[in-house]
Structure 1
Amino acid sequence: MTYIPDPQRYERQPYRRSGRSGLLLPTLSLGLWHNFGDVDRFDTARDMLLGAFDRGITHFDLANNYGPPPGSAEVTMGRVLREDLHAHRDELIISTKAGYRMQPGPYGEWGSRKYLIASLDASLKRLGLPYVDIFYSHRPDPDTPLEETMSALDFAVRSGRALYVGLSNYSVEQTRKASAILKRLGTPCVIHQPRYSMLDRWVEGGLLDTLAEEGIGCIAFSPLAQGILTERYLSSAIPADSRAAKGGFLKPTDLTEGKLAVVRALKAIADARGQTLPQLALTWVLRHAGMTSVLVGASRLAQIDDALGAANGAALTEAELAAVEAALRLESAQTP
């Protein structure tokens, strides 16, 4: 059956400009870090990808090692592009990254020109695309000269493999230096992808200001703190099918009584606003003028629908922002 997208999809959420570039991104973007690998049901992944596009989500974010196994999320995306979305390629922003470990040996991670270009070529093959819209350096390499890593990003654009380049997990100083190199090369950085949530606010220590000064957009990942800022952990009992129970990036030991007290207080603020807790968390991240988009993950389409409530929700008032700050202080108040 031929897929026909919702004709009202571009009315479903706002779009924001990425820094001083011409690139517009949806307020909510879909990340394929989890739930799109070979271990997951393809039909469920397909339903989420097409459902997201129906809801105005035009940006799909990947990396070479997303799965599991590594690379399989790109294969899933490639199949949906080939079977369902091929007629709409020019309406999509597809991004991928390289930097974390993808394969054994000295050329399987970090930021060398060898690894980045070989990884991008492999990603394009898995996606079935001649180019991606954004190619990221996924993390800084402490041993490879920054000039080499940035020249590889520049080459990716000049060779037609990518339209734009971005950075992820770079510190304030690393971002400044990388941006200066890319400007000299003539391929400016258009976006930075840092981890940012109510429970992880390191970007407020200078990165957001730096991005504004450099004209670089920002797209936050893990805005729900790996699921802590959902409504799954309101009690001390960890659901058996939850991410924390599986013991991956989120572990049961992360859910301290102090953190749960914060989550319960934030839930009360969300209730008073007529929002769910995830909607409040996303609205809070999106309050920054320079926040181009937030990356949401999903295991079912209903979670994407819930997140859309943040894209179209009312801005937080000063009183609500103050209440959030008070709630976030509860964790330290309960620390011995």
Structure 2
Amino acid sequence: MMEFAERAPRRRLGVGGPEVPLLALGSWNTWDRMDRDDAAELLRLAVDRGVDLFDVAHYNFGPHAENAQTDVLFGQAVRDAGLAREDYMLCGKLWLWEYPASSFAEQMRVSLDRVGTDRADMVVVGDFMERPDLRAVVTDVAEQVRTGGFAHWGVNNWSAGDVLFACRFAAAEGLVPPSFAQLKYSLVRRSVPEGVPFGTLFTGEGLALQASDVLEGGILAGRLHPERKIGADPGGIRDRIRAVVPEVGRITERFGATPAQLSIAYCLANPAVANVLVGVTRPAQLEDNLAALALCARRGDELRAALAGLWLDRDVVDPSASWGTDAPVRA
């Protein structure tokens, strides 16, 4: 019988970052897939189990110009659940698709208003197609910190070189540097998070890794053709991922776990990882995911060794690349 965690332990989200639970709930296609009462119930359970960090964004920019309501519905669920603002941590997003025409100040105003709160705890500065003026980005983020919009920030799918530039520029100017990188990371997608460029940031700059897309939109859990919109496919390996799902299942059976538990535990066994984003919509899924924490603590090194042969983007995706809509692929 798999052991279940009573409450999620916490790790620091990078040097200077806050203490966060090992599991956090993401928002893309999450809250808008749930009934109102179910969303409130899930929020109450998550906070009770210590999973009190919620990654919530306003999706209406660039390739995500879909006017999603998931952030509005999250705010409604918070109120329905009777949660006070101090009961949970909020991670928002600042998008670079239309920056600087769409300023960070305006993005924060709209985003917080949609959720129904006056502040976030941290934000992720999102990916970009064309490299912006990173000096301006870091300076503008620092201004939002100064005015109380949030206290900490990270990046989403930037290259390691750009993150290093942001860290060094912030240090030179006395500004708040990024403390974490939110990257696609799973037992099949490893090249960027486990590559040397980001490894240097995790060890040398004290940056933390926040793992996203750990189940490849549900494919690694056995839902081979999700009907909902899921993340991009750097390197074009999604069909190869579907092909190895039976092997993931066999390894899962060896560990007496579920595919979700195996995938989460794999990421958490990497010491660079502060936490993993999950997209659960039912209490049973949350409880299942929490069991991955005990699996990682007991057998983390063993399961990483068992999964070593499933690195599918090795020699396909450049470890120094950013993971936006299309990642550079090695020849």
Counterpart residue number, 1:73: 70
Counterpart residue number, 2:152: 164
Instruction: Answer whether contact 2:181 2:210 (CA < 8 A) is retained.
Output: yes
* TM-score, normalised via structure 1 length: 0.80
C-alpha distance in 1 between matches for 2:128 and 2:232: 23
C-alpha distance in 1 between matches for 2:180 and 2:302: 31
Counterpart residue number, 1:142: 130
**CA deviation digits over 1:222-247, x for unaligned, max 9?**
011111210334xxxx5xxxx2x456
Larger radius of gyration: 1
1:53 alignment partner AA: V
> After the TM superposition, which residues 230-309 of structure 1 pair with which residues of structure 2 at under 5 Å, given as runs?
230-233=221-224, 243=226, 245-246=227-228, 249=231, 256=239, 258-309=240-291
> After the TM superposition, which residues 65-144 of structure 1 pair with which residues of structure 2 at under 5 Å, given as runs?
65=59, 70=67, 72-87=69-84, 89-99=85-95, 109-112=97-100, 114-140=102-128, 142-144=130-132
Q: Name the SS for the 2:184 alignment partner.
A: coil
Q: Which has the higher contact order (CA 8 A, sep 6+)?
A: 2
Q: How far did 1:52 drift?
A: 1.5
Q: Does 1:26 align with 2:21?
A: yes
2:213 alignment partner AA: S
Q: How far did 1:320 drift?
A: 3.7
Counterpart residue number, 2:169: 181
Counterpart residue number, 1:228: 219
Instruction: Answer whether contact 2:144 2:150 (CA < 8 A) is retained.
Output: yes
Q: Name the SS for the 1:289 alignment partner.
A: coil
C-alpha distance in 2 between matches for 1:267 and 1:181: 45
Deviates further, 280-289 or 176-185? 176-185
Instruction: Answer whether contact 1:71 1:123 (CA < 8 A) is retained.
Output: no
Q: How far did 1:208 drift?
A: 3.4
The runs of 5 or more residues in structure 2 that have no matched partner are: 316-331
Q: How far did 1:212 drift?
A: 2.7
Q: Does 1:195 align with 2:191?
A: no
**CA deviation digits over 1:63-116, x for unaligned, max 9?**
1217995352221222233343443x223210110216xxxxxxxx34327422
Counterpart residue number, 1:321: 304
Q: Name the SS for the 1:50 alignment partner.
A: helix
> After the TM superposition, which residues 202-217 of structure 1 pair with which residues of structure 2 at under 5 Å, given as runs?
202-205=192-195, 206-217=197-208
C-alpha distance in 1 between matches for 2:42 and 2:299: 29
**CA deviation digits over 1:11-54, x for unaligned, max 9?**
512111112225111011000111213x6532232222222112
Q: Name the SS for the 1:167 alignment partner.
A: strand
Deviates further, 272-281 or 176-185? 176-185
The runs of 5 or more residues in structure 1 that have no matched partner are: 1-9, 101-108
Deviates further, 141-150 or 15-24? 141-150
C-alpha distance in 1 between matches for 2:178 and 2:145: 11
1:297 alignment partner AA: G
Q: Does 1:311 align with 2:293?
A: yes
**CA deviation digits over 1:180-239, x for unaligned, max 9?**
222324212122111111121121112133133112222111011111210334xxxx5x
C-alpha distance in 2 between matches for 1:194 and 1:309: 23
Instruction: Answer whether contact 2:24 2:53 (CA < 8 A) is retained.
Output: yes
Deviates further, 123-132 or 316-325? 316-325
Distance 1:70-1:45 versus aligned 2 partners, 3 A rule:
farther
**CA deviation digits over 1:150-171, x for unaligned, max 9?**
1111011001111112111111
Q: Does 1:13 align with 2:4?
A: no
Distance 1:327-1:114 versus aligned 2 partners, 3 A rule:
closer
Q: How far did 1:268 drift?
A: 1.4
2:116 alignment partner AA: G
Q: Name the SS for the 1:186 alignment partner.
A: coil
> After the TM superposition, which residues 32-71 of structure 1 pair with which residues of structure 2 at under 5 Å, given as runs?
32-37=27-32, 40-65=34-59, 70=67
* TM-score, normalised via structure 2 length: 0.81
C-alpha distance in 2 between matches for 1:289 and 1:30: 20
Instruction: Answer whether contact 2:26 2:54 (CA < 8 A) is retained.
Output: yes
Q: How far did 1:270 drift?
A: 1.5
Instruction: Answer whether contact 1:192 1:219 (CA < 8 A) is retained.
Output: yes
C-alpha RMSD of matched pairs (Å): 2.9
Aligned residues with identical type, % of pairs: 26
Distance 1:68-1:279 versus aligned 2 partners, 3 A rule:
farther
Instruction: Answer whether contact 1:156 1:162 (CA < 8 A) is retained.
Output: yes
C-alpha distance in 1 between matches for 2:155 and 2:146: 17
2:181 alignment partner AA: H
Deviates further, 145-154 or 185-194? 185-194
1:24 alignment partner AA: E
Counterpart residue number, 1:106: none
